[in-house]
Amino acid sequence: MMKILFIAYYFEPYSGVGAKRISYWAKHLRRIEGNVTKCDVITAVPQNQKFDNIDNVFYLANTNQGLLRKFIKFDKGASWIFDLKKYVKRNIQKNGYDFVVLTGDPFLHFFIVDDFKKLGIKTIIDFRDPFANNPRGIAKNTLIKKAKHFVLRKIENYFLSKANYIISVNQYCVELFENYTKYLHKIKIIDNGYNEQIFKNINVQSHCKSEKNIIKLSYAGKLYKDRNPQVFLKCLRSFSDINFYHIGEQSEYIESDTKQIKSLGFMSYENTLQLLTTFDVCMIFTSGYSFESTTKIFDYIALNKIIFIVTDGEVKTGQIYQITKGYPAVYWANNNSNDIERVLKNIEKDINKDIFFNSYKYSREYGLKQLVEILHDK
C-alpha cells in the first residue's frame, strides 16, 4: 500500500506545458497502480475542480516571502519554499506519505527535500528541464553571472545529494547535472509524452493528404529568438502551394497575417490537437542543443503527421533525433535558405505518403508506468 504526495508549483487548471505531465501522473496514478491508498497534491495554482482519483489538491499561495527570494528573483520557488516549509511543518506527520514527488520548474522549492527526509518520507525530484547547467541560460561574460552560475551548481548538487531518486527526461539532460556520474545510481529517465487519454477523442488520420493542392504547415508553441522562423518564412515566398499556420501567443517573428502566413492565437491543448489533425506537416524549430526536446514532438508522432525540423545546430543529432529516428516521415533542415527550400521540395513530392507507426511508447501512460516502477524500487 502506498501514499503519494505530488508537489508542483504548476498544476491544472494552469494550461501551460509545465503542468501537463505532473497533472497526468497524479490524475492517473490509481488507474495504473491499484495499491495507492492516498494521492494528494500541493500546488501554487488556485483550484476550481475536483479530480476523481486524487484525494486532495491543496492550494498553497506563494506569499512572496522568505530570505531566499531576496537573493534569487528569477525562480518562483525561491519564495514559495517559505510557504511550503511552513505548510509541511504544520500539516505533514512523520511517515504520513511513502513518497513525495517534486517537479520543476521552478526549482528552488526542491529545498524541501530535507524536511521530508527528516519525516521518513522518500523523495523523488523530477527535473523537467536542465537547471544549473542549461546551455540556453548560461552566460559567463561577467563576474556576477559567473558567480550566479557557481551558486546554482552548488544548489543543484545539494538537491541531487538529498533526493532518493532523480528523474530526467533524457540522457543529454542527465549529463548536464552537476557531478552527474556521482548520482547515476539514483537517476531514472522518463521522457515527456503525449496524453493518450485526450487522443481517444481526436480523429487521428492514418495518412497525410493535401487539400485543394495547398500543403498546410503548422507550428504549435512559442517562438524564441534562438528558434525563430524568419529564414523559413522568407523561403515560403518561393512556394505558392504551401501555407503556414502558427498556433500560440502572438510572436514578434510573425509580423502580420497574410494569405500564406496565419497567426491563429493561443488555444487549449485539446483544441490545438484537434486543429493539428487538419494540417499536413507539423514543424519544430530548435536551437540545436543536444538536450533539447519538446512535448510537441510526441503529439506530432501520435497524430501521424509529417514532421519538419529546422535547426540552428547539426541535423539528425541530439534528443529530438533519438525520438524521431525510427519515425517514417521526418525531415531535417539547417536554418538556411538552400536547405529549407530543398526539404520543402521533398515534402511536396512526398505529401501523400501513408504513415503507420506504433506510438505507444511515446505516451504519458508509458511514462507513468516507469514512475510506478520507481515507487516499487525499495
79 shares its domain with 118: yes
Whether the ω angle into residue 106 lies within 30 degrees of 0, i.e. cis, is yes
131 shares its domain with 253: no
* Mean pLDDT for the stretch of residues 338-362: 92
168 shares its domain with 32: yes
Cα R_g (the chain), whole angstroms: 22
Q: How much is the pLDDT for 203?
A: 74
Of the pLDDT bands very low, low, confident and very high (cuts 50, 70, 90), residue 301 is very high
DSSP 271-335: HHHHHHTT-SEEEEEE---TT---HHHHHHHHTT-EEEEEESS-TT-HHHHHHHTT-SSEEEEES
* CATH number, position 349: 3.40.50.2000
117 shares its domain with 209: no
Q: How much is the pLDDT for 195?
A: 93
121 shares its domain with 216: no
Q: Long-range pairs for 293-297 at CB < 8 Å and ≥24 separation?
A: 293/169, 293/170, 293/191, 293/192, 293/319, 293/320, 293/323, 294/192, 294/221, 294/320, 295/17, 295/20, 295/21, 295/192, 295/193, 295/194, 296/220, 296/221, 297/323, 297/324
Side by side, which strands form the sheet with 261-265?
261-265, 242-247, 215-220, 281-286, 306-311, 330-334
186 shares its domain with 273: no
Higher model confidence: residue 17 or residue 325? Answer: 325
Alpha-carbon gap, residue 183 to 177, rounded angstroms: 9
Of the pLDDT bands very low, low, confident and very high (cuts 50, 70, 90), residue 353 is confident
Q: How much is the pLDDT for 378?
A: 62
282 shares its domain with 323: yes
The mean-pLDDT minimum among 1-10, 24-33, 97-106, 345-354 falls in: 345-354
The per-residue pLDDT for range 245-297, each reduced to its tens digit, is: 999 888 887 876 788 999 999 888 888 999 999 999 999 999 888 888 888 99
Provide the domain count of the chain: 2
259 shares its domain with 315: yes
340 shares its domain with 356: yes
Higher model confidence: residue 236 or residue 70? Answer: 236
pTM summary value: 0.87
Q: How much is the pLDDT for 134?
A: 81
Q: Is the pLDDT of residue 159 over 60?
A: yes
Q: How much is the pLDDT for 115?
A: 97
336 shares its domain with 368: no
158 shares its domain with 253: no
Of the pLDDT bands very low, low, confident and very high (cuts 50, 70, 90), residue 210 is low
Owning domain of residue 108: 2-193+363-376
35 shares its domain with 105: yes
